[in-house]
Chains A and B, each alone.
Chain A
């Protein structure tokens, strides 16, 4: 599966409180959450982001609270993929579970800049920065996690297992 969009660049330790502040967690509809995505770190984000766009950040993206509302908000505002040097572990699971693609890649996190146009091939892990004409290679998902991703998320994966029992 290929994704294409422009980059929104963030730094290290982007936590789930800034991805979706708790003051908006009195609802859980993804569309409502999306209206406030990244509000406390970039107030213009929801106005700028377009379907297919890609978030790039450095280390420890998604640290803090376990709120699944964070990847839901990112996905619902049209972001197709998040690329980072590393992800906090709960966020990583949540994103896989709800079908938000993530890629871990040191070089891509460092060398891709805000506004660059990139193409991402999820099956090969290739990140092609069209603006800079440079290709990066992300770490592949472990085989076990690919099973969840290929099933369409954890609920679909588990439904399959339960019906097979």
Chain B
């Protein structure tokens, strides 16, 4: 029978069953673009000669990458997106009400299990954590999806990843996904769906599952996906209840892989042996346990992004930073992933902890993760970041280095001034 991903795709093309390798036209439940990818998508949309988007309630535009506008050219792009959003009446999150697209969509109830979600952003796969089939595409694909409500796909094979055992202290979703990418490589799941399951996934909070699905693309996957369990249902009760969305369906379908579903592979890990991981430059697969990081002095620590910018991530960092000071040899930047995360962190006193520790706290933006603004690196500088990519030039100068880790390791490293484990300071 079928995997979770195959069942969702079958339900979106009117077939009972689909098989890996088949081409199909899937109807989409949500179409997403941001201030960098939407301008190109809008240009291509206009070339199609279609006057309106297929369903204004199902198209979301988020100015998050270079917004608040970092320069005049970015401002022009953001303006173009804003004007299109107004003209079409699509869902649009303005600066001051926005956040990083992959943080706000689930948070604001735009993501439901069993949906097909396409976005002109590679980290659209994040939403698979709620049992949706979510995948990143380019601007032209998104233009077609905005116009027609459909997109062609080749059904991907699914690889099942089973995580056994109990998670160690300070080990979370970021460490599991970095460890996995380190094992299978940056193209280890090329064109496949990564289905995450097992006792350790069930133990993860939703934040950790978003982090794992988010980085499925870093193994080349088309999507990352998790089962909908009681934690996901509870999360959904909270977001659906927000009721801020007009025209969005509040009901959803939960699919599960059949016992006899066919997988392209099954990979199993014992997480009790996994310690916090650090990806060294310049690939997310270049991982080492934090205890073997050696003496890597840092110039900057960044905590935030669509990977690790949620409330649980900030709580972890604050737990370590409370009553401590960031090392005087580096600067630390915290970027809450959304206005809601920022507000919650403020109410809980986390922001006070960060500012007390000597940290710069920014309004939500993707900003420095992709070398945009709010913490771009100079030549020769080293940054430990809770983001998702450490490619050459990713955060600024091509002669800078980026190391990837979880928020607890980032916070501990900010205090130590070098890459270090939370155990070194928080026990």
Residues of A within 8 A of B (CB): 13, 15, 17-18, 21-23, 25-28, 39-41, 59-60, 63-69, 71-72, 86, 88-90, 93-94, 97-98, 142, 144, 153-155, 158-159, 162
Contact = CB atoms under 8 A, between A and B. Distances in A.
Interface of B: 23, 36-37, 39-40, 43-44, 47-50, 65-66, 70-71, 73-74, 77, 120-122, 124, 136-141, 143-144, 147-148, 152, 154, 186-187, 190-191, 217, 220, 222, 283, 370-372, 376, 389, 391-394, 396, 398
Contact of A17 (B73, B222, B389): B389
6 contacts: A18-B392, A27-B73, A64-B217, A68-B40, A142-B154, A144-B152
A23 B36 CA distance: 11
Contacts of B141: 93-94, 97, 154
Chain B: interface secondary structure? loop
Contacts of B394: 17, 22
Nearest to B156: A89
B136 A158 contact: no
A148 B388 CA distance: 32
Contact of A66 (B37, B376, B389): B37
A71 B71 CA distance: 25
Contacts of B43: 28
B39 A28 contact: yes
Given A63-B220, A67-B37, A158-B148, A17 B370 contact: yes
Contacts of B73: 26-27
B370 A88 contact: no
Top-10 shortest CB links A-B: A94-B138, A26-B73, A68-B138, A40-B393, A60-B187, A97-B140, A40-B398, A66-B122, A22-B370, A66-B136
Contacts of A21: 371, 393, 398
B138 A97 contact: yes
Given A90-B136, A162-B49, 16 more contacts: A15-B391, A17-B393, A18-B398, A22-B65, A23-B396, A28-B77, A39-B398, A66-B37, A66-B120, A68-B120, A69-B36, A72-B40, A94-B139, A144-B152, A158-B48, A159-B49
A60 B220 contact: yes
B137 A154 contact: no
Contact of A63 (B48, B49, B138, B187): B187
Given A66-B122, A68-B138, A162 B148 contact: yes
A17 B390 CA distance: 10
A155 B191 contact: no
A71 B141 CA distance: 14
B372 to A, nearest CB: 6
Contacts of A59: 187
B78 to A, nearest CB: 10
B51 to A, nearest CB: 12
A54 B50 CA distance: 35
A18 B393 CA distance: 7
A163 to B, nearest CB: 9
